[in-house]
Chains A and B, each alone.
Chain A
């Protein structure tokens, strides 16, 4: 039987070659992963463009968005006067789209930001602490879950009147339990994860575990959930506008624009369709960006190209 010994021409091989190189920092890895996702970049650029357009609306819009011109009622698009046509009151649709963006973005972003902060806080408590505190938090969230968003908006509108604050508040309240639930589920799973036990064995106090181990695990999930939800918020906000709960007329609001164009849908479809397209585009942009972020923020996903 041949004996194995240190043979001639044999070298103890180094560890796997891919680990020879010094790895990049987390930020660089994440940025590179995001740049690799073409749809996410497209989404990001679209959003940046749209935000820029919203900010610069007063300079970009050819007409006053609230001023109707009797002569241009239901004017078709692709004409020199009205690139995107005019609505049932002769107002330029392009200008209204640009100004409408100034409502759409705050309505999408602010509720999610508020909900993210409050929801994460509540979710951490609900998920990490068993016993009375946790249960109390989760059951209260369940109550909010049960409230339909539109009814809540109507209720708030009777006190605050319809308008931007109403919409933002209603959406923030309704979205909070969703985020809280995502956080609570993740946290509850983590509570029994081996690396949390390992952290205890390493002498970390529960508070430090929460801060150093649980929160960094949860934050990327919230960011991704939030980003994708912003897309949904655009649609919901439009829904409020459609129902007349948003900013009062004649303020340009994408949802209100759709509802305004309903009567002339057969003869002048662009009045409703153009704002509809704007909603879809922005919503999709948020979604693709959210997807890209999901990969960029998770070290396990991003190194898999």
Chain B
């Protein structure tokens, strides 16, 4: 299908059954979104919000309990192992634990070239050439491909992980917390690299991060996840200038004090929120949808107080 979105979730839910007496864990609750070609999507929210689960469902590592998962227009929610293997070359994943995603006992050329080997019969020379090419694209020297993962610094390992994702020339790359383990001064390097690669290789990203600033540079559209639910969805600049949900506003305010000043703190801004709203997102304006059900706040705080606490004093 020529113009089908590269990735689409339709009402995806994931339930983890746990041993009694613990209740089942609803990791994803009816999540829906689309990633059209060349329109990267950012997914933000806390740890434990279900972001990693979302990643794993999109890569076929976890089977959803409900809903449909479309890759290039094909529903793979109940896809076979073979079907998933086939699509994975078009949708690659950069893991959150980048060092852990590399086999420590093998040189990096093994890990980077792995996807090539599994899809076709290629000679070792061909693999070395492809690995070298992709290493240069991410700013690493090909001569270092025989090094082991532990010999690289944090930023370089992230580049190795990106190189690995690039080797099958995918059109979609899922990035799970791509810079959270890196020093602040290195993050910008990696984010700029990702932006450059998106432009030069026509890549579309799904960027997942608990720091809103990370997807901000790479994504055209943002989705806010909390406890497995989509709370708000809007184009990036709209979300950052006019967040509607108090949780989104708090998240952004914590991240950027300048945003905090622009947020509407009056009590009646959230008077429309409440338990009587039907589930699901309400499209408040074109492209901007919010879930208006009551939102759990820390024990003694109202939503206004939560907003107030997220404000930063002027400096």
Contacts and interface: CB of A to CB of B under 8 A. Distances in A.
> In the complex, is A directly touching B at CB under 8 Å?
yes
Interface string A183-214: 00000000001110111111111001000010
A300 interface: yes
Contacts of A250: none
B102 A15 contact: no
Interface string A112-124: 0000000000000
B97 A194 contact: yes
A202 B61 contact: no
Interface residues of B, number: 35
Contact of B114 (A204, A216, A303): A204
Contact of B88 (A19, A25, A201): A201
Contacts of B111: 195, 198
B272 interface: no
Would you list the 4 A-B pairs with minimal beta carbon distance, nearest first?
A194-B100, A202-B115, A203-B118, A198-B101
A197 B95 contact: yes
Given A15-B156, A201-B59, A203-B119, A195 B102 contact: yes
Contacts of B104: 195, 299-300
Contact of B147 (A19, A197, A198, A205): A19
A197 B111 CA distance: 12
B47 interface: no
Interface of B: 59, 61, 85, 88-89, 92-93, 95, 97, 100-107, 111, 114-115, 118-119, 140-141, 143-144, 146-148, 150-153, 156, 164
Contacts of A298: 105
Nearest to B112: A202
A11 interface: no
A203 B103 contact: no
A52 B116 CA distance: 48
A23 B151 CA distance: 11
Contacts of B115: 202-203
A17 interface: no
A198 B102 contact: yes
6 contacts: A22-B143, A25-B146, A194-B101, A195-B104, A217-B103, A303-B148
Nearest to A16: B153
Nearest to B153: A16
A217 B104 CA distance: 9
Which residue, of B88, B89, B101, B104, has the highest number of chain A Cβ atoms within 10 A?
A: B101
A26 B92 CA distance: 29
